[in-house]
Structure 1
Amino acid sequence: MTTTSPIRIGVLGAHSTGKTMLLKRIEMELRGNGVTPARTGSIGKRAALNGLPKMQKHTVASTEWIITQGIADEIAAAAQGADVILADRAAHDALAYFNAALEFRGEQIHRLERERLLLLASTQLPKYDLLLATVLDKTIPVEQKHDYDPRYRVLVDHHVHALLAAETIPHLRVTSDPASQANAVAQALEIYLKAAAV
């Protein structure tokens, strides 16, 4: 990962593992240091509004749309002059969700199609200065308003961390432990402060 302008911090992980809350905490710290970051998000909701399947029904098309929409959102934030971009669902997140959906349904796709999606996600890696991967804590209950399939959620968590390991992608694992959360926020702030001092 390289430190360039703007700073890009991406988060990925299973649903309801604190991705959005973690980015909100980082945003608050950055604002406290005089910088207003741009935060992307709601990609899954926008995909559904466009008639694309989500969660365990993900397809090649929905995965490609989410990856490219995330790329477009980050490009737009950079064009608007953001010093820091907080990407809620870094590119590999969509790929992990798709891999989990395939396993959940017991399906396979053509090797070239899988490689194409991986290549698309991988083109974004050099842009990130920090990737944060949340870790599923099964002891924390999911809000009742969410109708998540628990097996799919576990599969997403597995595929997020398996993908990061298989591709040897530098990242910071973030658990539900307060110390782990605080460390992630501190790392994000340190990256910005170092870049700002140059």
Structure 2
Amino acid sequence: MTTPIRIALSGTHSTGKTTLLRRLEMELRANGRTVARTPASFAAKAAELGFPKLQNQTPECTEWIIAASAAAAAEATLTADVVLIDRSALDPVAYYLAALECSGQQPDPDITERLAGLVKAHIAGYGALVATVLDPAIPLGDSRDRDLDYRAAVDRHIHALLAEHQIPHQRITGHDDERTVLAGLVSLASGEVTP
């Protein structure tokens, strides 16, 4: 039995993650792979449960989103060859750190160390991680948080965390990158290349 591969996308809102995942899913299905996608809505579910979100996000909310996403990805491995994760375990931490930055607060080192440990544990199970890079010229999607400073702060924190923890990833900064990365991910998920 082959171990399902997990491919995660990371990035601030309205940077093309969901569009890329849709394209990747279509390509993989066309190549005969069974594909499952985790929902990107764990932050919305957290808010429904009563956790503060976005600029008010707490460490507990961050932990819950990481755990819920990880559980969904693990469950998806029961039925799919490839699991596409819409928002890596890194994203909730970046949103949390951006919330602190935008409110002028400093992160508690003990909390950030604990959250970093959770992220590393979950990211270790990814076959590939792709990080989008914010292009401020691209408009926000409908029903997105309208705070552009917060959006940019999330992007900065994602890329700072990737660098700080030396997490292997591929960056997407434009359409040319997207085509190249997409082709590489299809090859990886089809078993043509090793991670």
Residue in 2 aligned with 1:49?
48
Query: CA–CA distance in 2 between the matches of 1:147 and 1:89?
Result: 16
Residue in 2 aligned with 1:66?
65
- Name the stretch that deviates more: 148-157 or 109-118: 109-118
Residue in 1 aligned with 2:100?
102
Structure 1 vs Structure 2 CA RMSD: 1.7
2:182 aligns with one of 181, 185, 197: 185
Query: CA–CA distance in 2 between the matches of 1:26 and 1:71?
Result: 20
Deviation for aligned residue 1:145: 3.8
Residues 1-198 of structure 1: pairs in structure 2 closer than 5 A: 5-41=3-39, 42-78=41-77, 80-143=78-141, 145-175=143-173, 177-194=174-191
- Percent identity for Structure 1 against Structure 2: 46
Deviation for aligned residue 1:12: 0.6
Instruction: Give the counterpart letter for 2:155 in structure 1.
Output: D
Instruction: Give the counterpart letter for 2:34 in structure 1.
Output: T
Deviation for aligned residue 1:76: 0.9
Deviation for aligned residue 1:56: 1.3
Q: Secondary structure at the match of 2:124?
A: helix
Query: Would you identify which runs of 4 or more consecutive aligned residues in structure 1 move more than 3 Å?
Result: none
Query: CA–CA distance in 2 between the matches of 1:59 and 1:171?
Result: 26
TM-score normalised to the size of structure 2?
0.93
- Name the stretch that deviates more: 145-154 or 30-39: 145-154
Deviation for aligned residue 1:173: 0.5
Q: Secondary structure at the match of 2:190?
A: helix
Task: Describe the superposition over 1:31-55 as per-residue Cα deviations: whole angstroms up to 9, x where unpaired.
Answer: 1111121100121221121111221
Query: CA–CA distance in 1 between the matches of 2:17 and 2:97?
Result: 19
Contact 2:14 2:139 in 1 (8 A): no
Query: CA–CA distance in 2 between the matches of 1:104 and 1:89?
Result: 21
TM-score normalised to the size of structure 1?
0.91
Unpaired runs of at least 5, structure 1: none
Query: CA–CA distance in 2 between the matches of 1:144 and 1:71?
Result: 27
Task: Provide closer, same or farther for how the CA distance between residues 181 and 196 of structure 1 changes in structure 2, counting only shifts above 3 A.
Answer: closer
Unpaired runs of at least 5, structure 2: none
Query: CA–CA distance in 2 between the matches of 1:110 and 1:178?
Result: 38
Q: Secondary structure at the match of 1:194?
A: coil
Instruction: Give the counterpart letter for 1:160 in structure 2.
Output: I
Task: Describe the superposition over 1:50-93 as per-residue Cα deviations: whole angstroms up to 9, x where unpaired.
Answer: 11122111110110010000111011111x23110000111011
